[in-house]
Amino acid sequence: MTCCRCGQAAKAPVLVRRIETISGPMRGNYACLPCGRWFGARADAPDWLKRDLLARESVR
């Protein structure tokens, strides 16, 4: 999977944006971990992204 921000291959992709659709399954944008941290640091980052990043950091 490729990162939606830098375009590099993401070994452990992070879901950074949920895209709701009217019909069909939800889609999402994925990023590599460094870019996921960038998305998570933004003021408009959803709470679920911040929680996911914290959980990943605690596992390391």
- The answer to whether residue 3 sits within a structural domain is no
The pTM (predicted TM-score) of the whole model is: 0.84
- The answer to whether residue 38 sits within a structural domain is yes
The domain total for the chain is 1
Enumerate long-range contacts of 3-8, CB under 8 Å, 24 or more apart. Answer: 3/30, 3/31, 3/32, 3/35, 4/29, 4/30, 4/31, 4/35, 5/31, 5/32, 5/35, 5/38, 5/39, 6/31, 6/32, 6/34, 6/35, 8/32
Range of the domain at 53: 14-59
Looking at the predicted structure, is the pLDDT value of residue 60 above 70? no
pLDDT digits (tens, 9 = 90+) for 2-58: 999 999 999 999 999 999 888 888 899 999 999 999 999 999 999 999 999 999 988
